[in-house]
Structure 1
Amino acid sequence: MCVVRIDVDEEPNGTGFFVAQGVALTCRHVIENETDLSIIWQGDRHTVTQVQIPNKDVDLALLSVNSPNHDWVFLDDDVTDFEQLKTFGFPKNYPQGDPLTLEFEGFTGGSLSLIKLKDGQVEPGYSGAPLVNARTKKVCGVVKSTRDEDYALGGRAVPVSLVWRLFPELKPTILEIPKNPFLPRSGRIDLPDQFFGREKELRSVFEILNSGSSVAIIGERQVGKSSFLKAIAHHSKSQLNQYRRPVYLDCQSLIDNADFYEELCLLMDIENTKASNLKRALRRSKQSFLLLLDDVEMLAEENFSFQIRSQLRALSLGHDAPFKLVVAASVNLDELFPDARGRVSPLQNICINEFLAGWEEKYVKHFVDKRLAATPIRFSERDIIEILLQTQGHPQKVMEACYQLYNRYKEDCLP
């Protein structure tokens, strides 16, 4: 909400609205010759520190206010006959605020022409309220006066063109809007500087690894497991007590057992070998590995045998084992691999679960603020809440929702 109540001596006297950070626009007659001025915004009182009245023949004033961060309106002089215009102000009978709908009838004559309004009851207290064009969703005027306090005959408003004439700094310039920062829209995030959040989960994973255990990352699809594995790989050099070379293997691209071992050996830079010789090949390489297995569900397919999981377990037991595992799955490993003939799934007891949920509101807000920092566009608190409700905090869905919203704001900024 960008609309504020203008108080004189802490009593309601009219309406104003934010047009920039800490700057509110209202009518001159609302505040002229008054000294004890303040605004009420979101229930809190803020002191007016400066008043600008460049021309006393025009019923406009610009107020500087000590206020926390807030949204402000977009100004646009685009308005045509019979368009519906909406406003929100603080009439005397409704000091907490009341909406009003009017219709554009035309412009009055003269060099200081006004907008003529009809079909709405403009009462005292609406003076200074923003007049929003229902089509453009932007402010086209400032409510000035009523045509009749007791009947719905409309009123008059100062057009935005006159606002710009008095306060040219409020006229939007053609901005060079940067390209959309909410990328990539799909798939995992490979670049470390694009990965955001998950600090708590990263600390937990490395605590488990440094204790000698392996980890299972459990979370719904699109919650960011693949990107999280890449982040673990990136941070492993600085966070592991005993260095292990990170190797990321996407199981979704594999066909069968032979393909698994061939791809694994290729990524580890060791000789291509069969399962029976893998342990000896690892010993000859004199390396230890942090093996990050993505989409490990694929290993439950019929083309992959119990042997793979059994060997991964054997090669991961003990502090000095060749492997420590970090596997990503959508369900618990005991549900994923209910191996036959009464045997316990080999991965069930060596991987400690780390559950990956959607982002909380504070992380969504921090993510948005960081991505928007180098742009002139800002999302409102309402935008953040709507994104959170729409996406349930799933990072990939948050990214897509932010991408679409940024494009809408970018279109609004263009002339």
Structure 2
Amino acid sequence: MLENPFTVRGTIQNPSDFIGRKAELLHIVTRLKTMQSCSVVGERRIGKSSLLYHLFQTGNERLNDSRFRFVYIELTDASAQTVVDFLQTVLQALNLPSDSIKDDNKPNRNLVAFDSAIKTMVASGTKVVLCLDEFEGLFANKQEFNDGFFNHLRSMINQRRLALVTASWKSLEVYAIEEKLTSPFFNLLSITELGDFTPEDVESFIDYYQPAVQFTAKELEFINWYSEPHPAKLQIFCDMILQWREQDWDNDTAKERIAKAYEILGGKHDWRKWKRNVAGILSCGSIKTWLENIKIARDLGTGI
């Protein structure tokens, strides 16, 4: 029985499984070269966490600079619920002493101690980049993560002692207004909007998995006409196509079940709006190549 690679959901942790997002990564990497900070903004399940984790894994290679040290922190995690926890987590990830950060210290003393520790790395030529996922998680504890905290973070960014790459549903300026925060930190980061896959990204996605799943001509046609370029929806779509193959659904049943599966992402879906008016999302050349490769593989397998 064919192993279905589309059932694995969540943050992509294998760098070779990460597909597309060339423009967004270029935008971020270009700014990190001069230690400028970025804010990745996009809807739920659009791939923000995977993008940040991929940057954490491949940042040095993309920058072609071994001096960079990347730290990835998910800010809804238990290790980042207070300022003390957050500061200690960062220092420990950088293999720096964290015992100067204490619960019984005044907040400013902890921030100064943190800054001093980072300065030691900067003095040795290291460039620190914090990849802070689900940044909105900080606003659940506004007493801890207040204007004083964000002002200090802004000072460190301005002095190039560290750079941030954050991920959130909405822009940081919107959160500042909603949470009544006045720190100028919130208009400091360059915004990188993360949306649907480009047509090239979709083709790269299918191309990556095609050798393993061997989509048929009928399945590729169905993908071409009815798939959406939203990364999570595309994965769900391909997952359901493989189920369709095993259970021999008709097109209407397949569309109904896929639409129902999409509802976990929020909202209703209308197939009439999805059908494209021109040639679909995949290029004819790619489809032809995939089908030719399937034929070659089958011919080799049968000895014809």
With structure 2 as the length reference, what TM-score do the two structures score?
0.68
- Aligned partners of 2:130 and 2:165 also within 8 Å: yes
Paired residues for 1:13-162 under 5 Å: none
Which residue of structure 1 aligns with residue 155 of structure 2?
314
In the TM superposition, residue 204 of structure 1 has moved relative to its aligned partner by: 1.5
**Aligned residue identity for 2:221:** E
Equivalent-residue separation in structure 1 for 2:180 and 2:214 (angstroms): 62
Distance in 1, matches of 2:186 and 2:73, equals 17
1:141-189 deviations in Å (ceiling 9; x for gaps): xxxxxxxxxxxxxxxxxxxxxxxxxxxxxxxxxxxx430122422x110
Q: CA deviation at 1:228?
A: 0.4
Shift of 1:355: 0.6
The structure with the largest alpha-carbon Rg is 1
Q: Counterpart in 1 of 2:20?
A: 197
* Distance (Å, rounded) in 2 between the aligned partners of 1:290 and 1:337: 22
- Verify the 8 A CA contact 1:218 1:330 in the aligned structure 2: yes
Q: CA deviation at 1:411?
A: 4.1
Q: Are the aligned partners of 1:334 and 1:345 in contact in 2 as well (CA < 8 Å)? A: no
Shift of 1:407: 2.2
Q: 1:364 Cα deviation (Å)? A: 2.0
Correspondence 1:264 to 2:90: yes
SS in 1 for 2:120: helix
Question: 1-side partners of 2:241 and 2:52: how far apart?
Answer: 28
Relative to the length of structure 1, the TM-score reads 0.51
Indicate if the aligned counterparts of 2:81 and 2:138 stay in contact, CA closer than 8 A: no
Q: Which residue number in structure 1 is paired with residue 51 of structure 2?
A: 228
- Secondary structure of 1:315's aligned partner: helix
1:289 counterpart residue number: 128
1:228/1:346 Cα in 2 relative to 1: closer, same or farther (>3 Å)? same
**Shift in Å, 1:235:** 2.5
Q: Could you report, residue by residue, the CA deviation over 1:334-385 in whole angstroms, capped at 9, with x for unpaired residues?
A: 1112388883431312x11111001134422331232122233333223233
1:395 & 1:304 partners in 2: Cα distance? 32
Corresponding position of 2:37: 214
The residue type equivalent to 2:187 in the other structure is: Q
Assess if the C-alpha contact under 8 Å between 2:48 and 2:194 holds in 1. yes
Q: CA deviation at 1:251?
A: 0.4
Instruction: Give the structure 2 partner of residue 53 of structure 1.
Output: none
User: C-alpha distance in 2, partners of 1:370/1:239?
Assistant: 21
| Matching of residue 181 in structure 1 with residue 181 in structure 2 | no
More helix per residue: 1 or 2?
2
Q: Which amino acid aligns with 1:246?
A: F
Q: Which runs of 4+ in 1 moved over 4 A?
A: 339-342
Residue pair 1:282, 1:322 contacting (<8 A) in 2 also: yes
User: What's the RMSD between the two structures over aligned residues?
Assistant: 2.4
For 1:359, the aligned partner's letter is: F
Cα pair 1:208 1:214 within 8 Å, conserved: yes
Check the 8 A contact 1:217/1:225 in 2, yes or no: yes
Specify every segment of 5 or more residues in structure 1 that has no aligned partner in the other structure, as ranges.
1-176
Q: Percent identity?
A: 23
Over residues 276-325 of structure 1, what are the superposed CA-to-partner deviations in whole Å (9 max), with x where a residue is unaligned?
2111112234433111000001122224222332222111224xx23111
Map of 2:104 onto structure 1:
none
Cα 1:387/1:275, change in 2 over 3 Å: same
Asked if the contact 2:39–2:190 (Cα under 8 Å) also holds between the matched residues in 1, the reply is yes
Question: Is the Cα contact below 8 Å between 1:224 and 1:394 reproduced in 2?
Answer: no
Deviations 1:113-154 (A, max 9, x none): xxxxxxxxxxxxxxxxxxxxxxxxxxxxxxxxxxxxxxxxxx
Q: Is the 8 A contact 1:210 1:241 kept in 2?
A: no
* 2:194 equivalent to 1:356: yes
SS at match of 2:129: strand
Which residue does 2:239 correspond to in 1? 403
The amino acid of 1:384's aligned partner reads N
Distance in 1 of aligned mates of 2:7 and 2:180: 47
The separation in 2 between residues aligned to 1:404 and 1:386, in whole angstroms, is 12
Secondary structure (helix, strand or coil) at the match of 1:196 reads coil
Structure 2 runs not aligned, ≥5 long = 102-109, 249-304
Equivalent residue number for residue 71 of structure 2? 247
Q: Secondary structure at the match of 2:166?
A: strand
Which residue in 2 is equivalent to 1:78? none
Secondary structure in structure 1 of the residue aligned to 2:8: coil
CA distance in 2, matches of 1:189, 1:198: 13
User: What secondary structure sits across from 2:186 in the alignment?
Assistant: coil
Alignment partner, residue 368 of structure 1: 206
Change in CA separation of 1:344 and 1:312 when aligned onto 2, cut-off 3 Å: closer
* Alpha carbons 2:40, 2:166 under 8 Å: kept: yes
Q: Give the count of matched residue pairs.
A: 229
Structure 1 residue matching 2:164: 3-state secondary structure: strand
Equivalent position of 2:146 in the other structure = 305
- Structure 2 match to 1:329: 168
For the 8 Å contact 2:176–2:182, the answer to whether it is kept is no
Q: C-alpha deviations, 1:187-231, integer Å up to 9, x for none?
A: 110110111111121112111222441111111111000000112
